[in-house]
Amino acid sequence: MNRIVQIAIVVLIFTSCSFDSKQKEGQDDKVIILSADREAPLGWVYLRIYQDSTFEFESAGLRKGEIYKGKALITMDMICFNYIDSVPKAGQTAIYDKNTVMYIDGKYLERVGISHSDLSESIYDKIGVRIINNIIQQAINYPELQQYYHVDEFPDRLPLKIAMTGLINPYTAQGIEKFGSQVHLIRLNPSELKENYLEFSDWNVGEKNLEFQLIYKPEGIVIDFYFEKINDSWNIKKALINEE
């Protein structure tokens, strides 16, 4: 009887090891289309996206590591991570260029450097984060727009608020100031939304031309901005103000 039990245990162990080996082999066979990482204070952070759209976000510490898995949706301007279970502090949404993946909605601003990528060119490769930052600053400082702010009459409009839509995120808006203080980014949550904010929409980015709409709901105005690139510098070509 003991002999039969011993044989059964050996068979179970062998089957379990064989199954784990096949699982690992299957994982190793998956084609990586993006690999990125950075060194953390006590370990490393890894991001791997596979050809079948699955991904792994790994926080590897000296003693204990965590791997968050799910499926990724990749567009020209962002990567949306749909996690199977819990969401890491890095967040669920990132922008990217050929060098870096930058998370924009986490509890901190995570950045991982890309070591391998088969992704197509993103919008941030066409026009960099710093350039977008400068364009946003030019737009909110546009002379003809100043008469509509009325911050002396409506102090609750300070600090100036900008909706996180399109190409507006913590990286492109970093350091932007208006009326002596840094602008405040807000998420468009319908249940809590107030209308005293600016919204940038309908971005159209070309090689030497760029256009978008700037909406300021408190005053009911829509501005169509047209920028052009001359000698590596982007400047306002024209702006059309429409009062609703």
The reported pLDDT for the residue numbered 188 is 78
Q: Which of 47, 15, 173 has its CA nearest to residue 112?
A: 47
User: Are 177 and 195 found together in one domain?
Assistant: yes
- pLDDT tens by residue, 147-160: 999 999 999 999 99
Distance CA 129, CA 61 (A): 31
User: Are 148 and 98 found together in one domain?
Assistant: no
Mean pLDDT score, 101-121: 96
Residue 13 within any structural domain of the chain: no
* Residue listed under structure tokens 């596979």: 50
User: Are 237 and 218 found together in one domain?
Assistant: yes
Domain of 132 in residue numbering reads as 127-243
Residue 24 within any structural domain of the chain: no
Residue 166 within any structural domain of the chain: yes
User: Are 136 and 212 found together in one domain?
Assistant: yes
In this predicted structure, the answer to whether residue 180 has a pLDDT above a threshold of 60 is yes
List, in sequence order, every residue forming a beta bridge with 236; answer none if it has no partner. Answer: 227
- Of the three residues 105, 124, 143, the one that is the final residue of a domain is 124
Mean pLDDT value across the chain: 88
Cβ atoms of 21 and 12 within 8 Å: the answer is no
User: Are 136 and 225 found together in one domain?
Assistant: yes
Sign, Cα dihedral of 67, 45, 73, 23: negative
- Of the three residues 124, 150, 165, the one that is the final residue of a domain is 124
Total domains present in the chain: 2
Q: What is the CATH number of the domain that holds 93?
A: 2.40.128
- Where residue 91 falls (left for φ over 0; alpha for ψ -120 to 50; beta otherwise) is left
Residue 215 within any structural domain of the chain: yes
In this predicted structure, the answer to whether residue 119 has a pLDDT above a threshold of 60 is yes
Residue 25 within any structural domain of the chain: no
Q: What percent of the chain has pLDDT over 70?
A: 85
Q: Is 102 buried (19+), middle (13-18) or exposed (0-12) by CB count in 10 A?
A: buried
User: Are 97 and 133 found together in one domain?
Assistant: no
User: Are 131 and 102 found together in one domain?
Assistant: no
Least confident of 116-125, 128-137, 138-147, 189-198: 189-198
The reported pLDDT for the residue numbered 9 is 39
Residue 198 or residue 17, greater confidence: 198
Residue 48 within any structural domain of the chain: yes
Distance CA 174, CA 176 (A): 6
In this predicted structure, the answer to whether residue 244 has a pLDDT above a threshold of 60 is yes
- pLDDT tens by residue, 91-101: 999 999 999 99
User: Are 134 and 239 found together in one domain?
Assistant: yes
> Residue type at 165?
T
The reported pLDDT for the residue numbered 43 is 87
The reported pLDDT for the residue numbered 62 is 61
User: Are 145 and 162 found together in one domain?
Assistant: yes
User: Are 107 and 136 found together in one domain?
Assistant: no
Residue 8 within any structural domain of the chain: no
In this predicted structure, the answer to whether residue 13 has a pLDDT above a threshold of 60 is no
The reported pLDDT for the residue numbered 15 is 40
Residue 142 within any structural domain of the chain: yes
User: Are 110 and 165 found together in one domain?
Assistant: no
Distance CA 146, CA 122 (A): 33
User: Are 103 and 166 found together in one domain?
Assistant: no
Distance CA 218, CA 150 (A): 10
* pTM of the entire predicted model: 0.82
Mean pLDDT score, 111-138: 96
